């Protein structure tokens, strides 16, 4: 690389660092990153009480059928034995209902929330059948599968489940892409700023080719993005949130950066001022964010296939798995390298057009 490009990159870097607005934007990102983790934590905490798959509820159980309570426990219904069949007191706070299992193939059920009937009626009936028929039919008939988990004492906190999922599939990719989105703005401001100030001509008078000028402008924003991604990774690790395969992740994000920065240059080419370029970038980022992060109930197979090539998928795969299938990731790297190269060529063609830089 020619030394002149590095001089230009150094000058651009200094310009960026001098802008108070960008420095504030970096600080704002720190606040956003921390806010995102807090949102993830509170989401997991609320979900914990919302949808605990390991607990169908706590019930007081009066049973005339031997072993009924044990089979209820297998159905994830927690039980407390009831001595008094005529129990009519108010339901204790942590109890969801009362079950009376009678010998004559009948069950009575009192529910705090009658809407839960649909969820618990079948498990209760199954438990009753298993208990009442255990001496009459082969045990295997009503127990088709013996599920064993290894390690045997394995247990997990349900809050961790929701926290890990929302962080890995939604919030970590968002945090990793934030610096790239910001850098797209910085790059666009830098190019359109030259057009607005009519200083592009002076830059062209320098002993640099147009492509070298663009490289000189991309390099500092590229470096800033990479540094920020590393910083956010460290900030997340403070809270024990692991991001795996950082070198591979940086490689893939670099390819994404080349593609997005090229798109930013294309927007700069067609914009006559910063307002216009900001508008294009805002719209572009809104659409990209929508496509990457918002769950879309798509029925169309073609659209499904297109969405399965979303860059968010490899980002999640690389960042969330301790080891990855390099062949699978390589496929995405190849596709996005091609896309990045294509975007870069279009961007450079645009720069080559004198009208686009207001000469």
Partner 1 sequence: MIEQMVKWELRRLFKNRKFKIAFTLQLLVILLIIPLFGSYVKALEEGGFFNLSVGGKGYLPIGVSSEKNSLTEIISQNKRFEILWTDQTNGMELLRSGRISALLVLEKDFEEKMRSYGSSSVEVYVNTNNPKSVSAYSELNSILLGFRDGAVETRIRALSIEKPNLELVTQNTQNTPVANTNSVNSPQEQLTVNVTTDSDRPTNFREQIERTRKSFEDERGGYIVLLVLLLPLFLSGGMLIDLLISEKERRTGEMLLALPMKREKIFYSKFISILAIILFQLIFWVIALYYFGRISNPLVIVPLTLTALLLLSITGLIGVYSKNYKDSALIVTVTFILLFFLLFGTSTLYVAGLKEVAVISPLSLVIVIENGTYSLKEAALSILPSLSFSLALIYLSTALYRKDEFYFGPRPSLTELIYEFAGKMKIKDKRYGPYLISLVFGFIAIFISIIFEIFFGIITLYFTESIFAILLLWASIEELSKSIGVFSATKYFPLKWHEGLLAGMASGLGFALLENIIFTVFAINFFPDYAIRVLLMRTFLSGGVHIVSTGIIGMGITNRRYLIPAFIVGITVHLCYNTIVLQGAL
Structure token pair of residue 293:
């992060």
| Alpha carbons 254 and 222: distance in angstroms, whole number | 8
Q: Is 320 in the site for partner 1 (CB under 8 A)?
A: yes
Nearest to 177 by CA among 39, 315, 40, 17: 315
Q: Is 301 in the site for partner 1 (CB under 8 A)?
A: no
5/191 with CB nearer partner 1: 191
Nearest to 185 by CA among 157, 151, 221, 150: 221
Q: Is 307 in the site for partner 1 (CB under 8 A)?
A: yes
93/355 with CB nearer partner 1: 93
Site for partner 1 in 167-226 (CB under 8 A): 168-170, 173, 189
Number of residues near partner 1 (by CB under 8 A): 125
For residue 6, how many C-alpha atoms fall within 13 Å in the half-sphere facing its CB?
A: 3
Q: Is 246 in the site for partner 1 (CB under 8 A)?
A: no
Q: Is 230 exposed, middle or buried (0-12, 13-18, 19+ CB in 10 A)?
A: middle
| Contact pattern for partner 1 over residues 4 through 43, marking x by CB under 8 A | ---------------x-x--xx--x-xxx-xx-xx-----
Shortest distance (Å) from residue 348 CB to partner 1: 26
Radius of gyration of the chain (CA): 30
39/250 with CB nearer partner 1: 39
C-alpha distance from residue 165 to each of 36, 43, 161, 168, 231 (Å): 14, 11, 6, 5, 22
| DSSP element (H, E) containing 140 | helix 139-142
318 touches 244 (CB < 8 A): yes
Shortest distance (Å) from residue 49 CB to partner 1: 5
Shortest distance (Å) from residue 88 CB to partner 1: 5
Q: Is 118 in the site for partner 1 (CB under 8 A)?
A: no
Shortest distance (Å) from residue 345 CB to partner 1: 27
| Contact pattern for partner 1 over residues 77 through 116, marking x by CB under 8 A | ---xxxxxxxxxxxxxxxx--x-x-xx-xxxxxxx--x--
């Amino acid at each position: 690389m020619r030394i002149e490009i590095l001089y230009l990159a150094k000058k651009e870097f200094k310009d960026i660092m001098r802008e108070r607005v960008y420095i504030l934007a970096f600080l704002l990102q720190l606040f956003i990153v921390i806010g995102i983790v807090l949102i993830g934590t509170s989401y997991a905490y609320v979900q914990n009480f919302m949808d605990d798959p390991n607990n169908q509820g706590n019930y007081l159980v009066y049973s005339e059928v031997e072993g009924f309570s044990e089979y209820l426990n297998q159905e994830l219904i927690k039980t407390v034995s009831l001595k008094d069949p005529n129990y009519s007191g108010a339901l204790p706070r942590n109890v969801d209902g009362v079950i009376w299992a009678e010998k004559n193939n009948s069950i009575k059920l009192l529910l705090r929330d009658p809407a839960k009937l649909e969820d618990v009626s079948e498990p209760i009936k199954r438990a009753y059948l298993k208990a009442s028929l255990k001496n009459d039919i082969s045990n295997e008939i009503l127990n088709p599968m013996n599920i064993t988990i290894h390690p045997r004492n394995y247990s997990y906190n349900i809050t961790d489940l929701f926290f890990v999922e929302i962080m890995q599939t939604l919030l970590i990719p968002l945090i990793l892409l934030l610096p790239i989105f910001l850098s797209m703005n910085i790059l666009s401001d830098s190019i359109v700023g030259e057009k607005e100030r009519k200083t592009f001509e002076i830059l062209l008078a320098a002993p640099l080719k147009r492509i070298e000028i663009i490289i000189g402008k991309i390099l500092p924003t590229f470096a800033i993005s990479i540094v920020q991604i590393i910083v956010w990774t460290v900030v997340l690790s403070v809270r024990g949130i692991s991001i795996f395969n950082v070198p591979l992740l940086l490689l893939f994000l670099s390819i994404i950066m080349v593609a997005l920065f090229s798109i930013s240059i294309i927007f700069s080419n067609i914009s006559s001022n910063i307002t216009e370029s900001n508008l294009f970038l805002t719209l572009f980022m809104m659409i990209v964010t929508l496509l990457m992060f918002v769950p879309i109930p798509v029925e169309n197979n073609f659209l499904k296939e297109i969405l399965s090539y979303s860059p968010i998928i490899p980002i999640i795969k690389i960042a969330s798995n301790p080891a990855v299938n390099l062949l699978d990731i390589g496929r995405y790297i190849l596709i996005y390298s091609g896309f990045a190269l294509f975007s870069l060529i279009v961007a450079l063609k645009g720069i080559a057009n004198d009208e686009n830089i207001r000469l």
